[in-house]
């Protein structure tokens, strides 16, 4: 999923300690296949040198409007016309105010004012002290910039250079990259509410043992990420996985199948699409014990009284919202053999319009997968690819089906 490949960014740095993050951001953009032209305010040069940014970007850095390297002395015009986007990171409170009022007293602000608004978007990553961020003047400025068409990223909370703690930190480079990927992704799910389950469930036997499976949750998390990039409001209900929550996604962590069932059914009526990627354990023990089960001296094996877990997907498809056509359901199936035959049967049994199947043992824990799409008209194979790329294809599939 290379939304940033071959994109050309003008990366603007304003005065603030978060300039140190801009160095890693520049490097990350280059790794994504983008090109970067750095423009710095005089204040930014007090925190990081143009030499550093030149080394990372591979291009001369511009600071002054009167830079003699531009033959026509119009750096503010030339630089903006070459860009796919202007990214201001960090954007200080002072520079945010400057942008709002259309001031143009240095190269960076002049370039932002002179950019072709319809062709060159401006993306802003604010960075400032928590009191500056919370100040009503700053909040008014931010809201007006959004109304004027700027794409303003959120801020992070945490320790600040001044020793205080709160909102106002610039997002980390990977979070800014995610915001950029979303900006350049078609909003085919704009305004839709997606509910996604992911990962394995764990059914406790005693305090140290349980029933689970090899699902890593990577496919479900990739789908959640792709849906958010496509403009959806995404809620992800996840079992026990070692994955970071995708940027912009609301996550609810659960352990057992019953917990996942309860959390899912509680949100069905406020969702437009349900994607069931979770590998829910089919059985749980009827009664867990409070202490670890010890080996018997006579070597007899403990007897586990198993009961079936509730069928989340079947319950959702039978809900009033799904039956009325207001909720589109997508099921997942992980098989170990006879993929097409079993997937067709499962789609019919679950009553879903679309079922996505794969051979679980071939993909558990990997970053790649191969998917089989099954609907009423037949099957279609999505070949071996990254789970991110497959998620984008699946998002487009879902979008095309719910728009009919």
Residue 1: what pLDDT? 56
Phi, psi at 239, each rounded to 5°: -80, -165
Alpha carbon distance 51, 153 (integer Å) = 27
Instruction: Return the CATH superfamily for domain 193-402.
Output: CoaB-like (3.40.50.10300)
Number of Cβ within 10 Å of residue 377's Cβ equals: 6
pLDDT-derived band at 19, boundaries 50, 70, 90: very high
Alpha carbon distance 343, 310 (integer Å) = 20
**What's the mean pLDDT in 334-360?**
94
Phi, psi at 226, each rounded to 5°: -65, -40
Of the candidates 159, 62, 163, the one whose C-alpha atom is nearest the C-alpha of residue 111 is 62
pLDDT of 192 over the 70 cut:
yes
The full set of domain ranges for the chain reads 8-183, 193-402
Side-chain-side CA neighbours of 335 within 13 Å: the count stands at 19
**What's the mean pLDDT in 124-151?**
97
Give pTM, 2 decimals: 0.90
DSSP string of 125-157, one letter each residue? EE---HHHHHSHHHHHHHHHHHHTT-EE---EE
**What's the mean pLDDT in 355-379?**
94
For the annotated catalytic residues, the residue numbers are 162
pLDDT of 20 over the 80 cut:
yes
327: DSSP letter: S
Alpha carbon distance 241, 199 (integer Å) = 6
**What's the mean pLDDT in 317-337?**
95
pLDDT in tens, 161-190: 889 999 999 999 999 999 999 999 999 999
Alpha carbon distance 257, 239 (integer Å) = 9
Mention the CATH class of domain 8-183.
alpha beta
CATH topology of 8-183 equal to that of 193-402? yes
DSSP string of 293-325, one letter each residue? PPPPTT-PPPPP-EEEPP-HHHHHHTSHHHHTT
pLDDT-derived band at 60, boundaries 50, 70, 90: very high
Structure tokens at 63: 């600071």
Contacts of 300 (CB under 8 A, 6+ apart): none
Over the chain, what is the mean pLDDT?
95
pLDDT of 238 over the 70 cut:
yes
Structure tokens at 208: 């140290």
């Amino acid at each position: 999923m290379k939304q940033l490949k071959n994109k050309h960014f003008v990366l603007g740095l304003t005065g603030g300690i978060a300039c140190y993050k801009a160095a890693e951001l520049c490097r990350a953009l280059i790794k994504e296949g983008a090109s970067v032209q750095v423009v710095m305010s005089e204040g930014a040069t007090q925190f990081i040198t143009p030499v550093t940014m030149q080394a990372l970007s591979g291009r001369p850095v511009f600071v002054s409007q009167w830079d003699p390297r531009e033959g026509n002395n119009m750096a503010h015009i030339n630089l903006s016309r070459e860009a796919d986007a202007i990214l201001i990171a960090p954007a200080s409170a002072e520079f945010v105010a400057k942008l709002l009022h259309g001031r143009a007293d240095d190269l960076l602000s002049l370039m932002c004012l002179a950019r072709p608004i319809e062709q060159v978007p401006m993306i802003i990553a604010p960075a400032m002290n928590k009191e500056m961020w919370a100040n009503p003047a700053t909040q008014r400025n931010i809201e007006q910039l959004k109304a004027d068409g700027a794409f303003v990223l959120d801020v992070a909370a945490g320790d600040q250079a001044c020793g205080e703690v709160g909102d106002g930190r610039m997002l980390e480079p990977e979070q800014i990259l995610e915001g950029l990927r979303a900006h350049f992704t078609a909003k085919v799910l704009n305004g839709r509410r997606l509910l996604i389950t992911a990962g394995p469930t764990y059914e406790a036997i005693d305090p140290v043992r349980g029933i689970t499976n090899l699902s890593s949750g990577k496919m479900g998390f990739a789908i959640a990420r792709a849906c958010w990039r496509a403009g959806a409001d995404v809620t992800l209900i996840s079992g026990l996985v070692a994955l970071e929550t995708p940027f912009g996604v609301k996550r609810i962590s659960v352990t057992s199948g019953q917990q996942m069932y309860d959390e899912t059914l509680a949100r069905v009526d406020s969702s437009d699409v349900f994607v069931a990627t979770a590998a829910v354990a089919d059985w749980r023990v009827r009664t867990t014990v409070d202490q670890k089960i010890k080996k018997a001296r006579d070597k007899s094996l403990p007897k586990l009284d198993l009961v079936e877990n509730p069928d989340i997907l079947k319950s959702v498809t039978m809900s009033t919202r799904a039956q009325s056509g207001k909720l589109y359901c997508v099921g997942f199936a992980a098989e170990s053999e006879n993929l097409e035959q079993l997937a067709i049967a499962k789609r019919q049994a679950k009553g879903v319009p679309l079922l996505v199947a794969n051979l679980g043992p071939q993909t558990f824990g990997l970053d790649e997968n191969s998917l089989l799409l099954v609907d009423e008209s037949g099957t279609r194979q999505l070949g071996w690819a990254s789970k991110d790329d497959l998620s984008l294809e699946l998002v487009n599939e879902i979008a095309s089906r719910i728009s009919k």
